[in-house]
Amino acid sequence: MSGALKEVRNRIKSVQSTQQITKAMKMVSAAKLRRAQDAVTQMRPYAHKLQEMLSNIVSNSEGEINIALAAERAVEKVMIIVVTSDRGLCGGYNSNLIKLAKQVAKDKYPEQFAKGNVQFLPIGKKGYEHFTKNGFKVVNKFWDIFTGLSFDKVQAAAKHAMDAFANKEVDAVELIFSEFKNAATQIFVAEAFLPVKKTAKVAGQKMLILYTNQAKMF
């Protein structure tokens, strides 16, 4: 009997020790999440203002200068950039992004998709694995960008898309990503990346909630 009680006491101590460790891990994770959240929210106004400035430049330059990235032409070939994560265990986060990307391809570009003229540029392992496994046309250069993430890697991916558009290898570039709202909620966004839209069209540029759900990560 005493041996059984001793074993119970040891298990209680073990559980208490584990609780202390997980509590410390939770505090560290919360601090990291707060830093990441602050970085996202502080950067967003600058990104929006840059987009607005670029759109204004394009709007006011018609007939004066030739901006290759703003050239509108008949859409024959399309590139869809899909930003997913490298890991799972995040609810429907990745599956919803992938679903939205395929929905944009089929609904917005049905003729191009039927002809095999829609290519996917996945950023993140989960998107890359899905589109490769299911036989989609995939650009496989930048899927591991989050491994040692840096400005140079992001710049290389953006330059690939811009060069493809400027060289008329594709006629439209769409961007599929999640827009941070809070720690538990993401809004899935399909946004026209290229050609650069003029100011009058910016309001219609975002197809927020083409897939009208918000993702609950937990």
What are the C-alpha distances in Å from 22 to residues 30, 184, 190? 12, 20, 38
- Give the pLDDT of residue 209: 39
Measured in whole angstroms, the distance separating CA 186 from the mean position of its chain's CA atoms is 11
Query: Between 215 and 82, whose confidence is greater?
Result: 82
- Give the pLDDT of residue 217: 40
- Give the pLDDT of residue 161: 93
Please say whether the beta carbons of 209 and 216 come within 8 A.
Answer: no
What span, in angstroms and rounded, lies between the C-alpha atoms of 179 and 87?
18
pLDDT digit string, tens, across residues 150-206: 889 989 999 999 999 999 999 999 999 988 777 667 788 898 888 887 665 444 444
Map out the domains of the chain as residue ranges. Answer: 1-65, 68-216
Given a cut of 50, whether residue 16 has pLDDT beyond it is: yes
Lowest mean pLDDT among 40-49, 112-121, 156-165: 40-49
How, if at all, do strands 118-123 and 137-138 pair? parallel
Q: Is the pTM of this model over 0.75?
A: no
- What DSSP character marks residue 4? H
What span, in angstroms and rounded, lies between the C-alpha atoms of 194 and 207?
14
| Token couple for 65 | 């200068």
The domain made up of 68-216 has a fold known as Pyruvate Kinase; Chain: A, domain 1 (3.40.1380)
Please say whether the beta carbons of 115 and 154 come within 8 A.
Answer: no
**Residue 141, burial from CB neighbour count under 10 angstroms (0-12, 13-18, 19+):** exposed
- Give the pLDDT of residue 117: 95
Residues 6+ apart with CB under 8 A from 82: 97, 98, 101, 120, 121, 122, 123, 124, 127, 131, 176, 177
List residues with catalytic annotation. Answer: 90
- In the chain, what percentage of residues exceed pLDDT 70? 78
What span, in angstroms and rounded, lies between the C-alpha atoms of 170 and 184?
36
Grade residue 210 by pLDDT with cuts at 50, 70 and 90. very low
Peptide bond preceding 45: is omega within 30 degrees of 0, i.e. cis? no
